[in-house]
Structure 1
C-alpha cells in the first residue's frame, strides 16, 4: 500500500508496532553487548523507554501527527533508562520537532523529522562516538533526506536497508565490536524500531500495546523486619583530625557497637556506629580532634513508633517532614540492602533501587527529586549508564539539582563522606567531584557468555575481575580473582582498601579472605561491609 502522507493515527500504529517488535527482540539486543558481564541491558533499557513512550499515547484521541509525536516524545523523555534510552528519547524528541504544527506529513517532511532526530541525538551527547546508535540515526536521516521517493513506505524501506548496511559496518568503526564479533547493540535496537514502523505501514497494521511485556523488574522492599535491636542509638558525627590513627580508633570502637562506618578524607573523619553508649563513643572520638555535626537517634523508639503507625498516618508524617525545608538533600542510586543502608546512614534522603541491569528512568529520579524539600538537591547516579538519565531529570526539575557524576558505588560513598553541611554549594560540588576522582573501583562478577576481549579468551561462567570497568582478571575462584585484582589496584599512594561483598558470598569466607588481605597489606587500612548486592561478588575501592 502506498502512503503519500501519514497522520497521527498512522504514526500511532507505526510506533506501537515498533515497540512490540523491540520488546520481542530485546534479549537479542542485550546479547550484542560487548562485555560478557551480567549488565547487558541495552535492549531492556531501550524497550522499557519506548514502552513508556507508547503508553503515553495509548488513549490519545487525535489524528494530528504533531500531537501524537509530541506526547510520544514526552513519554520517552520521562521513561528514558540508561544511556541508550536517553539517546532514544532525544531521537524521538527531534522527530517530534520535525512534525511540529502538522496534522500530517508527506515523505519530505517525514525525512526532515528523521534528520531532526539525528540532530537532537548528537546534541545530547558530549563526545559522540561513531559506530553506535548515533551513527544509525544519522544514516537514517541522511538516507531519508537524499531519497526522492514521494511514497513514505518506499522511503522507509530504503532507509532501513541503508541503516542495516551501516550497522553491519559498525565493527569496523569500533575495535571493541570487532573483537567481540558483534554489531552495535543500540544501533540494532534502533533498526528494529525503524523496521517495526515500516512493517506497520506495509501491512496497514492496526495494533495495540502488549500489556504483558516490558514491566519494570524493580521491587520495593516495604516489609519491616521485626527483630531485637542489640544497640539502640544510631550515632554519627565528624572528627576534625590531622594524622589520626583511624585503624586503632576503629578497633577501639568495635566492642561498643555494630554497623560501624569510619571513613577518613584528608583531615576529616566520618563516623557512624550503632551503640548503647553514645557518650562513651564521643569521649573517645574527642581524643582525636574536634567533633562536628553530631547526630544521635534512638532506634528502639523509632522502631516502636514505626510498628504502631498505620499507612495513612505514615503518609501524613512524611508530608510534614517534606514541609520542613532543608539546605541540602540527597538522592542516590543503589542496589543491595547493605549498600542502601550505608547510603542512608551517610545522610541520603532517597535511595532509588537500580544499577547494573536495572537502570532507573528519568521519571523515577524526578519523582525522588519532587519528594524533597530542599534548597539544593544532589543526585549520585553511582553508575555511568545512569548519569544521562540523572542529568535529564535535573533539567526537568523545577528545583536546584546538582548531579555528581559518580560512576561507581564507592565513588558515591566517598563523595558523601567529604560533604560538609556548613560549606557553601560550590565548595561542596568541588570537593565531591575531586573526591570521586581519587577512588579506584574494582568489581568481581561472572561471564554470561563466551567471548574474546583484548586477546583474553573468556568462557561462560568464568569469574571476572574488572578495574574501572575493564576486564583485568579471569579465573575460576572468586577470592583468587579478587586478590589478584586488588594487587593491580594498590600502588605506593594507597591507604585504604574497602570491600562490599554481595548476596552470594558467605560472611565466614569473606572474613577469612579479609584476614589474608590484612596480612598481605599490613600497612593499609582494610574495611569490609555486607553490601548484599546481586550479580557482583565484590565491589572494591582503593583510595
Structure 2
C-alpha cells in the first residue's frame, strides 16, 4: 500500500498493530534473556509499556500525527517498566519531538522522527552499551535518514531490513550474547514494533487494541495499595486537556475532597487520580480547566483486590496513611520488594510504602508516582532494590513535583543496609552520602534455578540446575539448594566479614534453612548469623554478607 504521507489515523493503526504484535511475541522476547535465571522480563516490560502508551490514543479520533505521537509518548512515559520499557518510552518521546506540530508526515519527516527517537534513547542512558536496543534503533534511524524512498511503507520496509541486520550482529558486539547464542532481547522487541509499523501500512490494517488476560504479576502494583477500611469509595481518574501550569492550583483545590491524589501536569495535559466520595464534584471543577478525557471511575468497595502487604503490614500502612498531619515530615521512604517477610522487614525499618516488585515484576513509573502521592514528606527516598527498576524510579523523580531521591540499590540487602544507616536527625545530603557509601560494602548472593540449558564462563548448565549467584554472576551450579548455598557463602565470607544474613524463600524447607544456619554458626563462630523467612518467590535464598 502506498502512503506518501501518514496522518494521525494511520499512525494509530501502526502503533496499535505493533502493540498487539509485541504482546503476542513477548514470551519469545523474554526467552532471549542471556542469563538462564527466571528474570527474562524484557518482552513483558516493553509490551506493558507500549500498551500503556497506545491506551492513551484509544477512542480519541485524532487526525494529526503530531498529536497522536504526543499522546503516545505521554502514555509511555507514565507506563514505563524496567530498563527496556524506559528506553522504549524515550524512543517514543523522541519520535514525538520529531513529529511535533505536524498534521501529516512524509517519508523524510518520519525518518527524521525515527532519528530523534534514537537520539533521545541514547541520552537517557548514562553509559550506553552497544549491542543492545540502542544500537538497533540507531541503525534503523540511520537507514531511514539515508533512504530515498518517498513511500512511507517502503521506507519502513527498509528500516525493518536494516534493524534485522543490526540485530543479527549484536552477538558479535556483546560476548555474553554470543555465548548464550541469542540476539539482544530489547533489540528484538524493537524490531517487532518496527515490523508492526510496516505491516499496518503494507496491509492497510485497521487495528483495534486487543485485550489480554492479566496475570497477577501484571496488575498495577500501586492499585493494590488500598486502605483496609476505605474512607473514600470511588477511584477517579481522568485527563484534563488544558494548561498544565495550573496543575498545582487544581491539586490544592480538590485536596479536601479525597486522598491518594496524583495531579501531574505535562505540556498541555493534566493527569488526575483521586480517591473521593464525590467524583461528580471533582469532575465539575476539572471541566473549568479544559476538556476532560479518559474518565474512569471505579467503586472500590465493590472490588476485591489482592493486597501488597500482609495484614500486619496493612495496619502499618493505614497507620502511616491516616495519621498524616498538615505539616510534612522531613523524610519518607518507598521500597520495592517481593515476599511478605521481606516486605515486613522494610516496614519495620521505617519504610512508608512497599511496592510489590522485583524480578519479573517491575513496577511502572506511574506505580511509583502514585505511591509518592500518598506520602506527605519533604524528602522521599526510593529504594528500587533491583537494577531493572532504577531507571523507572529515576524517571518518576524527573516528572514528580516532590523531592524524590533514588538510591541506586540493586539488591534487597543493599536496601536494608541503607535503612540501617539512615539518620533522621541528619541533613539530606549527609544521609545520601552515607547510604550510597554503605551500598558498596554489602555483598549479595542469591540461589535460584536454571530455566534453560546453556554454558556460561565455561560452566555447563542444565535446565533445573540450582544456581548460586554472587553479585549477579553465576558462581556455583549444583543439584541441591542447601549445598549450593553453603558453597556460595564460602566465596562471600572474608577476613573483614562480621555478619551473614539469610532470607529464605517460599519454596524453602524451614527446618532445612535453620539447619543451614546452625552449620554456619559452627563454621563461623566469630560472625553473627541471622536468618529470616523472606517468603520471596523465584529465589530460594537471598544472602547478605557484611
TM-score by length of 1: 0.82
Matching of residues 348-497 of structure 1 within 5 Å: 348-497=351-500
Indicate if the aligned counterparts of 1:218 and 1:358 stay in contact, CA closer than 8 A.
Answer: no
Matching of residues 130-149 of structure 1 within 5 Å: 130-149=130-149
Indicate the residue corresponding to 1:299 in structure 2: none
Aligned mates of 1:209, 1:198 — CA distance in 2: 17
Indicate the residue corresponding to 1:507 in structure 2: 510
TM-score by length of 2: 0.82
SS at match of 1:62: coil
Aligned mates of 1:223, 1:460 — CA distance in 2: 42
Indicate if the aligned counterparts of 1:322 and 1:372 stay in contact, CA closer than 8 A.
Answer: no
Indicate the residue corresponding to 1:10 in structure 2: 10
Distance 1:323 1:353, change over 3 A: farther
SS at match of 1:441: strand
Indicate the residue corresponding to 1:54 in structure 2: 54
Indicate if the aligned counterparts of 1:69 and 1:99 stay in contact, CA closer than 8 A.
Answer: yes
Indicate the residue corresponding to 1:539 in structure 2: 542
Indicate the residue corresponding to 1:321 in structure 2: 324
Distance 1:432 1:63, change over 3 A: same
Query: How far does the alpha carbon of each residue in 1:335-376 deviate from its partner, in whole angstroms, 9 at most, with x for none?
Result: 000000000000000100000000000000111111111110
**Does 1:36 find its partner at 2:39?**
no
SS at match of 1:168: helix
What's the offset of the Cα at 1:508? Answer: 1.1
Which protein has the larger Cα radius of gyration, Structure 1 or Structure 2?
1
Indicate if the aligned counterparts of 1:139 and 1:162 stay in contact, CA closer than 8 A.
Answer: yes
SS at match of 1:331: strand
Indicate the residue corresponding to 1:267 in structure 2: none
Indicate the residue corresponding to 1:240 in structure 2: none
Q: Which runs of 5+ in 2 are unaligned?
A: 229-310
Indicate if the aligned counterparts of 1:84 and 1:186 stay in contact, CA closer than 8 A.
Answer: yes
What's the offset of the Cα at 1:57? Answer: 1.0
Aligned mates of 1:323, 1:530 — CA distance in 2: 37
Matching of residues 179-194 of structure 1 within 5 Å: 179-194=179-194
Distance 1:147 1:397, change over 3 A: same
What's the offset of the Cα at 1:60? Answer: 1.4
Query: How far does the alpha carbon of each residue in 1:188-216 deviate from its partner, in whole angstroms, 9 at most, with x for none?
Result: 00000000111100111001111124661
Aligned mates of 1:74, 1:319 — CA distance in 2: 32
Indicate the residue corresponding to 2:204 in structure 1: 204
Aligned mates of 1:318, 1:379 — CA distance in 2: 17
Aligned mates of 1:380, 1:323 — CA distance in 2: 25
Indicate the residue corresponding to 1:258 in structure 2: none
Indicate the residue corresponding to 2:283 in structure 1: none
**Does 1:104 find its partner at 2:104?**
yes
Indicate the residue corresponding to 2:239 in structure 1: none
Distance 1:507 1:329, change over 3 A: same
What's the offset of the Cα at 1:323? Answer: 3.8
Aligned mates of 1:70, 1:359 — CA distance in 2: 25
For the aligned residue pairs, the C-alpha RMSD in angstroms reads 1.8
Aligned mates of 1:33, 1:183 — CA distance in 2: 9
What's the offset of the Cα at 1:61? Answer: 2.4
What's the offset of the Cα at 1:222? Answer: 7.2
Query: How far does the alpha carbon of each residue in 1:30-59 deviate from its partner, in whole angstroms, 9 at most, with x for none?
Result: 000000100000000000010111111112
What's the offset of the Cα at 1:325? Answer: 1.3
Aligned mates of 1:55, 1:221 — CA distance in 2: 23
Aligned mates of 2:62, 2:122 — CA distance in 1: 31
Aligned mates of 1:400, 1:324 — CA distance in 2: 16
Indicate if the aligned counterparts of 2:321 and 2:374 stay in contact, CA closer than 8 A.
Answer: no
Distance 1:53 1:480, change over 3 A: same
Q: Which runs of 5+ in 1 are unaligned?
A: 225-302, 308-313
SS at match of 1:534: coil
**Does 1:90 find its partner at 2:51?**
no
